Chains A and B, each alone.
Chain A
């Protein structure tokens, strides 16, 4: 039996590295044509006719795309800000305290949007809002914003809670020992240390809201398209490389956001 020239590595599992690398390749491979074809000069989404930015320009100039994009961002900003604030308070109320009755119920309810399939929530909201629309005639953005805020709360809550749990209570005790009232202890010690978690939660909520398709699709009224629902609509009709262009831009945004998050988490560690 020939002895292997490679020393025995306890961490090596045969085939795993190959599978892993295949997986990484598979994750990125489909994105390549997507991005490449956004620069296609031709009309056809299949035939390559040279490099061009025309689709980016056309998307940029497309009124529908513009308004959808603005709507997406506005809703995402409002939803993430409100959701993060509410989630921060909820996290403070459910973490690092003496156990009390109802604590687990609150935790369950905060995380409920994660447990229920999106389509179920979407349908429930459709029905509920339809009732309200009938009786009040209101067709504005409050539905969209409240729906987004609601499902963003657990996404903001989890990183904040995780950060809070990692904070030793002795620091607040030390602050109290040094004459800080509970409020000042919160603003001078708890909050500054919690900030990275809050930022992470806010960013997560923002991206989740920006990316949402299903709930938005069911809850929106006519003319209230966000970028994802606009794209979904386009996919049912003729597909032009404009979709590729928009997708590439959104992909770029994701990359930027993830990079920021990674730098943030490096810093606090």
Chain B
């Protein structure tokens, strides 16, 4: 199993400006294991430490504590030019005084390869990123999207063990972004190189990754496959950061190994699958995805009651906002079947029904 580990961070901390009055703890005892041939994403808001972790893996910073391992070997003290790890920078960092081909071949030159070998590999890379006809262009003559591809080719050319990508798509417009997301996925499959991707865009993370690590304030909150992160957030932050969530307090009534009976504020009691260890009578927070809820007008069904305050049409869905007596309205998202909308008069009394199995209990 450990043979499959590409990169591992063990108890890594990074403190900037230590023992000054501007001390910043960018990473706080972070441990994570990234497998070979995996598309792994570090996801989180700005300042969460994801870029710092990436830079530690690349070798641009030293960890204050802990170790960085590459295929089992501790590389924490190695300078970046001795690590078989390459980076695609956020603003590409292409060498302005060199052509596209020279940029792509730079790493190979530094490794001492012969001119022929370099030319061959550069040619192959140009084909891989579909830029063959721009070989001899100068960097200031190509577009942003093209620069991005060159940066990618440059980092892939030396066949690194791990490719680090620091928010490489953030400067692209939406359409190009979507295209590049597919491209990157394809490249990762074709090359079999471990990709570690950093982004603050949760949709991007969910689309592209094999696994995602959600980070906040220097810590990793949860690691898992996209559907796990989405459907089973452990944490209020994770639930809130990924997609939309409705939060609701509840009280634990009864508890057994796999299920727990909870009472909602309105008095309704339901049974929900839950992890063990929730004390009786304790207050918990529930996380419910808007698309897991339904609007029911039939007052027989067990549902949370409220009055409809808003109906928002979003093309593929309709979003209903229901006031159930809490500070924020409960949001329900319903797919528009046949382009039809179920029109419900605003202000009318509606019920919200949720499949208990989709309710997530958060640990705080």
CB-CB under 8 A from B96, the residues of chain A are 171, 193
A54 to chain B, nearest CB (A): 50
Residue among A176, A177, A189 with most chain B CB within 10 A: A177
CB-CB under 8 A from B347, the residues of chain A are none
Q: A223 at the A/B interface (Cβ < 8 Å)? A: no
Taking a contact as CB atoms under 8 Å apart, the answer to whether B95 and A177 are in contact is no
Taking a contact as CB atoms under 8 Å apart, the answer to whether B154 and A176 are in contact is no
Q: B36 at the A/B interface (Cβ < 8 Å)? A: no
Q: A96 at the A/B interface (Cβ < 8 Å)? A: no
Taking a contact as CB atoms under 8 Å apart, the answer to whether B81 and A181 are in contact is yes
CB-CB under 8 A from B79, the residues of chain A are 176
Taking residues whose C-beta sits less than 8 angstroms from the other chain, chain B's interface range is: 20 to 34
Taking a contact as CB atoms under 8 Å apart, the answer to whether A174 and B93 are in contact is yes
CA distance A170 to B87 in the complex (A): 11
Within 8 A of B (CB), among A197-255: none
Considering the complex, give the chain A residue whose CB is closest to the CB of B157.
Answer: A178
Taking a contact as CB atoms under 8 Å apart, the answer to whether B110 and A179 are in contact is yes
CA distance A227 to B49 in the complex (A): 63
Q: A133 at the A/B interface (Cβ < 8 Å)? A: no
CA distance A45 to B93 in the complex (A): 62
Q: A180 at the A/B interface (Cβ < 8 Å)? A: yes
Taking a contact as CB atoms under 8 Å apart, the answer to whether B107 and A189 are in contact is no
Neighbour of A178 across the interface among B60, B97, B106, CB < 8 A: B106
Considering the complex, give the chain B residue whose CB is closest to the CB of A192.
Answer: B97
CA distance A173 to B58 in the complex (A): 10
Neighbour of B89 across the interface among A174, A181, A188, CB < 8 A: A174
Neighbour of B110 across the interface among A168, A171, A173, A184, CB < 8 A: A184
Residue among A168, A170, A179 with most chain B CB within 10 A: A179
Q: A175 at the A/B interface (Cβ < 8 Å)? A: yes
| Chain A residues bordering chain B, tally (CB within 8 A) | 18
CB-CB under 8 A from B111, the residues of chain A are 179
Taking a contact as CB atoms under 8 Å apart, the answer to whether B95 and A176 are in contact is no
A111 to chain B, nearest CB (A): 29
Q: B86 at the A/B interface (Cβ < 8 Å)? A: yes
Considering the complex, give the chain B residue whose CB is closest to the CB of A172.
Answer: B93
Taking a contact as CB atoms under 8 Å apart, the answer to whether B86 and A177 are in contact is yes
Q: B80 at the A/B interface (Cβ < 8 Å)? A: yes
Taking a contact as CB atoms under 8 Å apart, the answer to whether A170 and B81 are in contact is no
Considering the complex, give the chain A residue whose CB is closest to the CB of B107.
Answer: A178
CB-CB under 8 A from A178, the residues of chain B are 81, 86, 106-107, 110, 154-155, 158
CA distance A168 to B90 in the complex (A): 13
Considering the complex, give the chain B residue whose CB is closest to the CB of A168.
Answer: B93
CB-CB under 8 A from A192, the residues of chain B are 97
CB-CB under 8 A from A177, the residues of chain B are 58-60, 80-81, 85-87, 155
CA distance A58 to B82 in the complex (A): 67
Taking a contact as CB atoms under 8 Å apart, the answer to whether A174 and B95 are in contact is yes
CB-CB under 8 A from B297, the residues of chain A are none
- B interface vs A, CB < 8 Å? 58-60, 79-82, 85-87, 89, 91, 93-97, 106-107, 110-111, 154-155, 158
Instruction: Other than A175-B106, A180-B106, give 13 A-B pairs with Cβ distance below 8 A.
Output: A170-B93, A174-B94, A174-B95, A176-B60, A176-B79, A178-B86, A178-B110, A179-B111, A180-B81, A184-B110, A188-B106, A192-B97, A193-B97
6 smallest beta-carbon distances between A and B, as pairs:
A178-B107, A179-B110, A174-B93, A176-B80, A170-B93, A180-B110
